[in-house]
């Protein structure tokens, strides 16, 4: 089967994820549980759960702590739903 260039659709320039969804995705990519992330950050597992389920806002300081633990830039968490499209 030969694949043609026209068979592909151009990828978008953004993703639609909340900061909590991004944290959960990054955590799962590392193979960590919420307990593992809690141990690495000093943030309780209950708070990790609330953040991942968008029940509380993450805030700048917690995003920095979580980003360090997950080895990503805090902006990738805080602005997970950023789009480059001009409104």
> Are the beta carbons of 21 and 80 closer than 8 angstroms?
yes
Residue-level pLDDT at 50: 97
Using CA atoms, how far apart are residues 22 and 52, in angstroms rounded to an integer?
A: 8
The 10s digit of each residue's pLDDT in 37-52 is: 999 999 999 999 999 9
Residue-level pLDDT at 82: 62
> Are the beta carbons of 28 and 72 closer than 8 angstroms?
no
| Residue ranges, the chain, pLDDT below 70 | 1, 11-15, 81-87
Using CA atoms, how far apart are residues 23 and 29, in angstroms rounded to an integer?
A: 10
Residues 6+ apart with CB under 8 A from 3: none
> Are the beta carbons of 73 and 67 closer than 8 angstroms?
yes
Domains of the chain: 17-78 (1.10.260.40)
Which 8-state DSSP code applies to residue 5? G
% of the chain at pLDDT higher than 70: 84
């Amino acid at each position: 089967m030969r694949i043609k260039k026209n068979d592909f659709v151009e990828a978008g320039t953004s993703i639609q994820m909340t900061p909590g969804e991004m944290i959960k995705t990054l955590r799962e990519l590392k193979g960590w549980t919420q307990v593992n992330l809690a141990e690495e950050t000093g943030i309780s597992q209950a708070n990790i759960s609330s953040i991942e389920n968008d029940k509380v806002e993450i805030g700048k300081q917690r995003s920095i702590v979580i980003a360090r633990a997950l080895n990503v830039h805090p902006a990738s968490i805080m602005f997970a739903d950023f789009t480059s499209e001009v409104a």
